[in-house]
Chain A
């Protein structure tokens, strides 16, 4: 009997995929099996659209201990018998429906991924996108997401040290909530999400299993999102951070014993994914009796139990004979655990309900979904935007504004303004490692017991990726690396979250492919491997895609924590030098640097141009900057990005509560490009005046163009035609977000 289309729609499988299942299984799957296929063959679990492209990323390196895709998180060796485990993951669709719980459980999921590796989570970061705050629902989503991250993360006692918040109309109805977790692990005590040894036991621990979140992976995360689905709030799981904290402590105590073979978190697709993935990794089979799974609701079917996405649950693969000790350890932390099955040598996933077998499928069939390699095309719309005649724009501030006004307006705009009103809601200091918290280019944490530190940042730029997917992808990687470099750290590894629209559309597939290609090129140029990641496709509402938004979480390593660097100017009289550009050359203030920038988007309502990057120059600038910081030559360093040089310099002044006076630049170019152009590969440093020549010599040796911009000092900001008191700049920059929320709430 042909299967009904509505059944397939519910689990987001195509008829062709269903036919493949029947052919490979040799029979029609029963409803439980089909539900499991739907989850495991979803984009979220099976990466069927993205896997062939993800192979483009460089994933190996001398210090990489666990490569991308092999475990719950990637791991990189940082020496001294320590390693860093990290991963970023999206929770976009649940957050669009129920912002508080969606964001909260996003944090919960990524934290479990990290402690499943046996790593102690030491930092959280995030990257958020919303539609403009003029819309009431966007304000609700923004405030709910921030409250959810705050509520969950603070309760866990893991510092939230960094992140970004960006607003653009393309995220209306489809916010992005990407959460990153970083953990510290002893490589000798690292865990694996691997089942092995027939007879070893599967133990579930943590929350009881309920009916919440069934089809989260296939239903919410792997297909387009329509407005009426807001009614699906009940499909979003509710988080219990206290339970998560208990699980975290219990699991980290357990990994110090030899009682566990493997440890796996129950995330998307719940028990189905956890058990099948563990079995696949170990080349074994598993047998589970759903009647043994502790439940929170009566009358749950095998289907419900296998596909529930109830939060705060872990699957432990326990060495036979040690189950009582493991249960006692969980009980010490007031956690309920139960043996629900065992490892078997036959490589099948066999699900029982008491004596009855309700599902039995070869493990490799579950984990081998069809992979799609499509062909993409650059949309005509973008082609036209790239060809826009930027040089034809008049070189003057927007109607009715002076250049002073334009800078103040940009500094106070939601995308550039200080995000202090957000991050003060996150505990960013607990665990007493935070040397530099949120607000700078990158957070800096010390590693106790060593002289080392790590720098962390998340970065993305959907607008640049939209206008030029290839170079936009490269820019995102380069900028993230540049940010940790400005903190004095050498970039060593990254994790990425690829947020895109529906890959079945050729123009979206083009974005995905080009972004990944560009990101890979930047990774290779900078020598930074991708050690973990996540893909979130189908981010679109009412047929309209979000901007292609790859987010990069970058890890940098400082060999000497005391040598870390911050963005603020320090001393009056210090020379301010721009690394990466000689502004006396016309090319360095050409109009193409305005393309895709905040100035055009915010003040002129224009998203146009063709942003590009020269990776050779980027590498040279970053190497030079890190050497200058490590040798103690520079006193501050700040990446020049959103809003261009004027905004960058103003931020250096605001952060240091000190003014700046520009030298005569002899710049032949346009004022708008000089002030607000966003040419890549530029870093503003400040240096004691007597040492400025050393910086110039080092730059010449490295083949990096530089410009002496002027000097720090006084209480005014003077740059080109701009002349403002620093206090005024700081006020605009500090208060922008609260002002935008208040203005939005007051209405037009």
Chain B
């Protein structure tokens, strides 16, 4: 499983993702510069967190025009895996690779904290090492993570099992208190119809080593590496 980590100007989770894949998981990984127009040869593209192009206009609104995004869309069309984390999720929504949008946090403040995530769909290429209902501890770090979609889109996401992660209490209960940003249905991560593009606000790459307070994030990366979910999840 060869990973490519995209670097936009203003990206800052690139080195964290690279470290988790390379040093922790010992999988092949390379950086992909935002001006690159070809991403062939990569199995999984990671769009990391950060403030691409400063995100002064709207998160991800400029990044979607980066040359690399045409190649990423093509990679997704071919069935390649794409995982957008934090700013990467925002970019995927802006680029139309995922539905909906990420609004300002309900608190109108940035939030960096540990959250609990309930796995809603374990039959995806990103969650095959998890089981349905399994709760993970994964940190968030964002000012715009408040997922929004219109009612029809939301119903479609729910009905087709494309809500992959939800913010929950430690025991898995879905409550307003467990929701750090006001997202609809406590949504923390969703995928596209085909099941090969995942967007999530929490940062699995920040919790791959016990020294850092937890290693649940490994489960997501290991799911991708196992490749097991690819066959099961892709339509």
Which residues of A does B touch, CB under 8 Å? 147, 150-151, 154-157, 240-243, 245-246, 333-334, 423-432, 434-435, 446, 448, 561-562
Contact = CB atoms under 8 A, between A and B. Distances in A.
B112 A424 contact: yes
B42 interface: no
A446 B23 CA distance: 15
Given A157-B50, A431-B16, A425 B211 contact: no
B12 A245 contact: yes
B112 A426 contact: yes
A241 B112 contact: no
A429 B111 contact: no
Given A246-B9, A333-B9, A430 B141 contact: yes
Q: What are the nearest 8 A-B pairs in CB distance?
A: A157-B12, A242-B54, A155-B51, A427-B141, A432-B16, A427-B112, A425-B110, A150-B110
Nearest to A430: B12
Contact of A424 (B20, B55, B111): B111
Nearest to B24: A432
Contacts of B51: 154-155, 157, 241-242, 245
B75 interface: no
A242 B110 contact: no
Interface string B177-215: 000000000000000000000000001011011011100
A430 B112 CA distance: 10
Given A425-B112, A431-B15, A242 B143 contact: no
Contacts of B212: 429, 432, 434-435
A154 B23 CA distance: 25
A429 B9 contact: no
Contact of A334 (B9, B55, B211): B9
Contacts of A446: 211
A432 B141 contact: no
Contacts of A428: 112
B112 A429 contact: yes
Given A423-B112, A427-B141, 13 more contacts: A147-B109, A150-B109, A154-B141, A155-B51, A157-B12, A240-B54, A241-B54, A245-B12, A246-B9, A429-B112, A432-B19, A435-B213, A562-B211
B148 interface: no
B16 to A, nearest CB: 5
A561 B55 CA distance: 36
Interface string B31-60: 000000000000000000111011110000
Contact of B205 (A240, A245, A432, A435): A432
B10 interface: yes
B113 interface: yes
Contacts, number: 83
18 contacts: A155-B10, A155-B55, A157-B11, A241-B51, A243-B54, A245-B9, A245-B51, A246-B10, A427-B141, A428-B112, A429-B112, A429-B139, A430-B16, A430-B141, A430-B206, A431-B15, A431-B16, A435-B211
B211 A154 contact: no
Nearest to A147: B109
A733 B88 CA distance: 36
Contacts of A333: 9
B13 interface: yes
A151 B12 CA distance: 14
A333 B56 CA distance: 17
A143 B110 CA distance: 13
A429 B111 CA distance: 12
Interface of B: 9-13, 15-16, 19-20, 23, 49-51, 53-56, 109-113, 139, 141, 143, 203, 205-206, 208-209, 211-213
A435 B214 CA distance: 10
A157 B112 contact: no
B8 to A, nearest CB: 11
A454 B11 CA distance: 25
Contacts of B10: 155, 242, 245-246
Contact of B206 (A155, A246, A429): A429
A559 to B, nearest CB: 15
A157 B56 contact: no
B110 A154 contact: yes
B211 A561 contact: yes
B12 A156 contact: yes
B61 to A, nearest CB: 13
Nearest to B20: A432
B32 to A, nearest CB: 15
Contact of B113 (A150, A240, A424): A424
A432 B206 contact: yes
Contacts of B12: 156-157, 245, 430
A154 B143 contact: yes
Contacts of B203: 429
B30 to A, nearest CB: 17
A56 B182 CA distance: 54
Candidate in A151, A156, A424 with the most chain B CB atoms within 10 angstroms: A424
Contacts of A241: 51, 54
A266 to B, nearest CB: 20
A156 B141 CA distance: 13
Candidate in A242, A334, A429, A562 with the most chain B CB atoms within 10 angstroms: A429
Nearest to B113: A424
Contacts of A155: 10, 51, 54-55
Contact of A430 (B13, B111, B209): B13
Nearest to B12: A157
B141 to A, nearest CB: 5
Nearest to B217: A432
A531 B128 CA distance: 51
Given A432-B206, A432-B212, A448-B19, A425 B9 contact: no
B57 to A, nearest CB: 11
B19 to A, nearest CB: 6
A425 B141 CA distance: 9
A432 B205 CA distance: 8
B90 to A, nearest CB: 14
Nearest to A157: B12
Nearest to A436: B213
Contacts of B109: 147, 150, 425
Nearest to A156: B12
A193 B51 CA distance: 29
Nearest to A562: B211
Contacts of B209: 432
B147 to A, nearest CB: 20
Contacts of B13: 157, 430
A448 B212 CA distance: 12
B184 to A, nearest CB: 22
A154 B51 CA distance: 9
Contacts of A425: 109-112
A236 B21 CA distance: 43
B91 to A, nearest CB: 15
B166 to A, nearest CB: 21
Contacts of A434: 212
Contacts of A245: 9-10, 12, 51
A641 B56 CA distance: 42
Contacts of B141: 154, 427, 429-430
A561 B51 CA distance: 31
Nearest to B205: A432
A170 B78 CA distance: 65
